[in-house]
């Protein structure tokens, strides 16, 4: 998801420069950009394009695929298009390629091999929704496979190798041994930062500390990241290091992608613990719906498919009447009951749930626009609730 | 039943084989290839490493950070006036074009023989409103800049810290 978002933003911003940088007659003519490219294994779809519209069409398709990749939609084949696109841009003009493009290609390749799309994705939502359409009470177990584990391990090894070689290549340089490297970085035109130089110049010992700490973290990472006790510290240190790169050197894209790679070291049990803590903090929520209404069941299936943590309990008032909400009330709207005894009807029920269920956060803008959300939300919900029998029968008839 | 067992074992074996292969590729890509073993393994893996863009050294800011160099150019107009441009000053950290243009400028200063003519032609067109006669491409090599220099209010790109090299002067043919 993170890598998809980074790619989408990065290449969206590349759109105005597409033909200038990757086209045939742009700032760097193709024959110049590829003068040293003789290896037949270096391939880019751009090598086969002849007319500008082909670049534009490919770019548009690539951006759509990046968006789909970010959302986890049809990931089984979308991921390959994204990989081909990334490598094509990279090899299409090797002069423009820098560190992050290399890291992205390596991580994307592993993601292509991995069975991604089985969690935190629209693909997963589709699977859960299909299961819930058969029975709303169905709870699918989290996806796990040996191959997924192997691919996670490959990604971890990739990050460890990257850190290791980054550290030992620095150890071959005088700037790093002398402890001056960080000062030199901030005095170059590319990363000049007046604010940080103001801090470092009168406190030069900070330069030494920062230089040696960088090497220390990079060197320790590939060895200590594997141990249960040391992993949290190394992970925190590596993330801190890359946040510094982002904020002080302007390497936002690089740092973000590196942090995404480091996320492969996050243990599933940490996420599970975080999920449980969130669930406990948000409290229990029970949605009461009309089980006889096909439209309501389908809507519930779609809604619950985003509830990855299983925070929402459900009750069909036809089969299992609620002690809190009367049947007469239920005929008018769906209700949400809370442990403190409150019962929220219709639009207010959804509005309460959306910010409390992480999978539904994307709906927050629709439910929380001041004044407008309630102004339009209530009548829309009430109209749907009043016409739910008609909506159900239409769907049944069309099916 | 037995067929399924064997199929599962074969799949597991293939998966393990691939993990081993890819791990070897990840380690081999940045490793120095001085030894005979490394050279022969690289020969075997090179197509795989190249095709999937896995052949990387991971040598960020290493072995030395190195002094930078900045690309500038001077447009000479029909009246003989010289207009100096510092294209890097128009770039922003917050946009990825910062790195693309930087890479382009590095390519020009590192290999002027190759890029000077096409770049000059482009700059002549870009500044057509100045009625350019010629464009001179320059490389500003950055020198040592100490904390004392910074504390005394100086800047790494001040004349005393840079060496200016003329890369090429190219006539603007269209003007």
What string of pLDDT tens digits covers the 399 residues of chain A? 888 999 999 999 999 988 888 888 777 777 776 776 778 888 899 888 888 999 999 999 999 999 999 999 999 999 999 999 999 999 888 888 888 999 999 999 999 999 988 888 899 999 999 998 898 888 888 888 888 889 999 999 999 999 999 999 999 989 999 999 999 999 998 888 899 999 999 999 999 999 999 999 999 999 999 999 999 999 999 999 999 999 999 899 999 999 999 999 999 899 999 999 999 998 889 999 888 888 888 889 999 999 988 899 998 888 888 888 888 888 888 899 998 889 899 899 999 999 999 999 999 999 999 989 889 988 998 888 888 877 776 554 444
| Contacts A–B by Cβ distance under 8 A | 160
Chain B: give the shortest CA distance to residue A226, in Å: 16
B154 touches chain A (CB under 8 A): no
Token pair 């990363």 is found at A191
Give the angle subtended at the CA of A155 by the CAs of A78 and B12, to the nearest 5°: 85
What b/e string do you get for A113-151 counting C-beta neighbours within 10 Å, with b at 16 or more?
bbebbbbbbbbbbbbbbeebeeebeeeeeeeeeebeebb
Token pair for residue A64? 């759509």
Is the separation of the CB atoms in A288 and A335 below 8 Å? yes
The CA distances from residue B105 to A21, A79, B68, B116, B123, in Å, are 13, 33, 11, 10, 13
Chain B: give the shortest CA distance to residue A318, in Å: 46
Strand order in the sheet with A312-316: A312-316, A285-289, A335-337, A343-345
- What backbone torsions phi and psi does residue B75 show, to the nearest 5 degrees? -100, 125
Chain A: give the shortest CA distance to residue B117, in Å: 11
Residues of A in contact with B142 (CB under 8 A): 187-189
Is the separation of the CB atoms in A41 and B51 below 8 Å? yes
Token pair 């060496």 is found at B163
**What residues contact A387, with CB distance under 8 A and at least 6 apart?**
none
**How many Cα atoms within 13 Å fall on the side-chain side of residue A311?**
29
- Of B23, B62, B118, nearest to A166 by CB-CB distance is B62
- With a CB-CB cutoff of 8 Å, which residues 16-75 of chain B face chain A? 16, 18-19, 22-23, 26-27, 30-31, 46-47, 50-54, 56-68, 70
- Of B115, B142, B147, nearest to A32 by CB-CB distance is B115
Q: How far apart are CA B56 and CA B28, in angstroms?
A: 10
ipTM of the assembly? 0.88
Is the separation of the CB atoms in A197 and A184 below 8 Å? no
Query: Looking at chain B, which residue has its C-alpha nearest residue A176?
Result: B64
Chain A: give the shortest CA distance to residue B65, in Å: 6
Q: Determine the 3-state secondary structure of B171 from DSSP.
A: strand
Q: How far apart are CA A29 and CA A164, in angstroms?
A: 37
Query: Looking at chain B, which residue has its C-alpha nearest residue A87?
Result: B53
Residues A154, B22: C-beta atoms closer than 8 Å: yes
B99 touches chain A (CB under 8 A): yes
Query: Looking at chain B, which residue has its C-alpha nearest residue A161?
Result: B27
Taking the whole predicted model, whether its pTM rises above 0.90 is answered as no
Q: How far apart are CA B111 and CA B131, in angstroms?
A: 27
B87 touches chain A (CB under 8 A): no
Token pair for residue A382? 């009430």
- DSSP string across A75-111: HHHHHHHHHHHHHHHHHHSGGG--HHHHHHHHHHHHH
Pairing, β B162-171 against β B132-142? antiparallel
Chain B: give the shortest CA distance to residue A315, in Å: 42
What b/e string do you get for A53-80 counting C-beta neighbours within 10 Å, with b at 16 or more?
eebeebbeebbebbbbbbbbbbbeebbe
**What residues contact A241, with CB distance under 8 A and at least 6 apart?**
A213, A214, A217, A218
**What residues contact B42, with CB distance under 8 A and at least 6 apart?**
B28, B33, B49
- With a CB-CB cutoff of 8 Å, which residues 130-149 of chain B face chain A? 142, 145, 147-148
């Amino acid at each position: 998801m993170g890598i998809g978002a980074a790619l989408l933003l990065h290449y969206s911003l590349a759109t105005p420069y597409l033909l200038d940088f990757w086209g045939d007659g742009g700032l760097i003519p193709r024959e110049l950009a590829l003068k040293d490219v003789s290896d037949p294994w270096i391939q880019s779809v751009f090598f086969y394009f002849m007319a500008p519209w082909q670049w534009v069409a490919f770019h548009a398709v690539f951006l759509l695929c990046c968006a789909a990749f970010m959302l986890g939609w049809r990931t089984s084949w979308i991921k390959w298009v994204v990989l081909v696109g990334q490598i094509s841009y990279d090899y299409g003009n090797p002069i423009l390629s820098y560190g992050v493009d290399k890291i992205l290609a390596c991580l994307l390749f592993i993601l292509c091999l991995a069975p991604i799309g089985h969690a935190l994705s629209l693909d997963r939502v589709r699977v859960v929704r299909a299961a819930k359409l058969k029975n709303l009470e169905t709870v699918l177990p989290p996806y796990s496979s040996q191959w997924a584990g192997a691919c996670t391990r490959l990604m971890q090894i990739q990050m460890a190798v990257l850190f290791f070689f980054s550290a030992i290549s620095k150890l071959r340089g005088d700037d790093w041994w002398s402890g001056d490297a960080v000062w030199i970085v901030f005095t170059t035109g590319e990363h000049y930062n007046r604010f940080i130089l103001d801090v470092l110049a009168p406190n030069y010992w900070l330069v030494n500390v920062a230089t040696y700490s960088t090497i220390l973290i990079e060197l320790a990472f590939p060895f200590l990241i594997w141990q249960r006790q040391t992993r949290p510290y190394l992970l925190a240190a590596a993330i801190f290091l890359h946040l510094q790169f982002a904020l002080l050197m302007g390497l936002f894209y690089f740092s973000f992608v590196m942090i995404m790679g480091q996320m492969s070291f996050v243990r599933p049990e940490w996420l599970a613990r975080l999920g449980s803590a969130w669930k406990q903090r948000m409290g229990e929520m029970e949605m009461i719906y009309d089980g006889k209404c096909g439209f309501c069941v389908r809507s519930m299936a779609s809604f619950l498919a985003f509830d990855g943590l299983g925070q929402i309990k459900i009750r069909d008032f036809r089969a299992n009447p609620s002690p809190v909400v009367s049947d007469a009330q239920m005929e008018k709207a769906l209700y949400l009951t809370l442990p403190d005894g409150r019962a929220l009807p219709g639009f207010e029920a959804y509005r309460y749930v959306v910010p409390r269920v992480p999978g539904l956060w994307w709906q927050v803008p629709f439910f929380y626009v001041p004044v407008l959300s309630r102004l339009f939300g209530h009548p829309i919900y009430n109209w749907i609730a009043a016409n739910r029998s008609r909506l159900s029968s239409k769907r049944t008839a069309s099916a | 039943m037995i067929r399924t067992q064997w199929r599962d074992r074969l799949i597991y074996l293939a998966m393990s084989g691939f993990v081993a292969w890819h791990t070897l590729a990840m380690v081999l890509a940045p490793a120095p290839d001085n030894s005979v073993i490394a050279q022969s393994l690289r020969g075997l893996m090179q197509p795989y490493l190249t095709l999937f863009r896995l052949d990387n050294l991971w040598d960020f800011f290493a072995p030395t950070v190195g002094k930078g160099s900045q690309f500038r150019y001077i447009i000479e107009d029909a009246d003989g006036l010289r207009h100096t441009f510092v294209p890097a000053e128009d770039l922003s950290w917050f946009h990825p074009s910062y790195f693309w243009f930087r890479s382009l400028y590095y390519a020009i200063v590192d290999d002027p023989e190759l890029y000077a003519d096409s770049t000059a032609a482009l700059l002549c067109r870009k500044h057509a409103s100045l009625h350019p006669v010629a464009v001179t491409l320059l490389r500003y090599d950055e020198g040592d800049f100490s904390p004392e220099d910074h504390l005394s209010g100086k800047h790494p790109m001040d004349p005393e810290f840079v060496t200016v090299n003329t890369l090429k002067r190219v006539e603007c043919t269209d003007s």
